[in-house]
Amino acid sequence: MVFIHGWDSAADEAEWRSFLDTHPFGELVAAGAGRAVPVVVPTQFAVEGDTILVHLLRQNPVWTAIGENPLVMLCVSGDWAFIPSNWKVTGDEDPLEGIPTTYYASVQLTGTARVIDDPDGVAEVLRVQLRRFQPEVDVADPSSHGARLRAITALTIEITDVRAKFKYGGNVDIAHRTAVAGHLEARRAGSDLAAARHVRRRLGGAPA
């Protein structure tokens, strides 16, 4: 379970929901019962209200673990950027004294899984996901796929706990955060621009 300083916590529910809307891929973790290690499955997902919808192949080992213990976790992380030590200083501060870090967002959703094995229920989960992921594209109804549909099992997860972390320099003042955001916008590698947007969006609560 992720540790969250007060300054890194989500400002409100809308912040973590917005992050999930733009990052609909994560790791489904099923601990099972008496296992040395949990089953971890990378998967696409959709969130409808307080319910997560997932579908996976029937042969996936996660179904056995869920049968042992329906309490699962979905972990979604992204918009990460390494912050070099010399970016962490401003003004007359010594660049050699800067401390490097990594900025990132992470949301961990815990809930009870309900397995959906009948073709009609699986098709409905697929319809929801299609509306979510490709609303502008016409597609045959999932029920038309016959044997392929029967090769899939779906699940819903009723969210009971959310831990959301937005680690974007919340422990430092506006000057230092703004400096880092500028460096990210200049470097423009990987998720730098996304990380910079998080930094600037969260500046409202920063100490002067």
The DSSP-derived string for 49-90 is: TTEEEEEEETT-THHHHHHH--EEEEEEEEEEEEE-GGGG--
Q: Does residue 208 lie in a domain region?
A: no
| pLDDT tier at 182, thresholds 50, 70, 90 | very high
Give pLDDT tens digits for 105-152. 999 999 999 999 999 999 999 999 999 999 999 999 999 988 889 999
CATH of residue 83: 2.30.110.10
| Nearest by Cα to 83 from 2, 202, 165, 177 | 177
Residue 207 has pLDDT above 90, yes or no: no
Q: Does residue 151 lie in a domain region?
A: yes
**How much is the pLDDT for 134?**
95
What global pTM score does this model have?
A: 0.93
Q: Does residue 1 lie in a domain region?
A: no
Residue 205 has pLDDT above 80, yes or no: no
Total of domains in the chain: 1
Residue 94 sits in which domain range? 6-203
Give pLDDT tens digits for 18-69. 999 999 999 999 999 999 999 999 999 999 999 999 999 999 999 999 999 9
Q: 72 pairs with which residues across the strands?
A: 30, 111
**How much is the pLDDT for 91?**
87
- Are 108 and 75 in contact by the 8 Å Cβ rule? The answer is yes
Give pLDDT tens digits for 79-109. 999 999 999 998 888 989 889 999 999 999 9
Q: What percentage of the chain carries pLDDT values higher than 70? A: 98
Distance CA 39, CA 29 (A): 6
**How much is the pLDDT for 1?**
83
**How much is the pLDDT for 140?**
94
Q: Does residue 16 lie in a domain region?
A: yes
**How much is the pLDDT for 135?**
93
Average pLDDT over residues 7-18: 96
**How much is the pLDDT for 137?**
95
Name the least confident of 10-19, 142-151, 155-164: 142-151
List Cα–Cα distances, 185 to 34, 153, 188, 197, 199, in angstroms: 47, 43, 5, 9, 11
Q: Does residue 124 lie in a domain region?
A: yes
**How much is the pLDDT for 206?**
60
Distance CA 41, CA 28 (A): 5
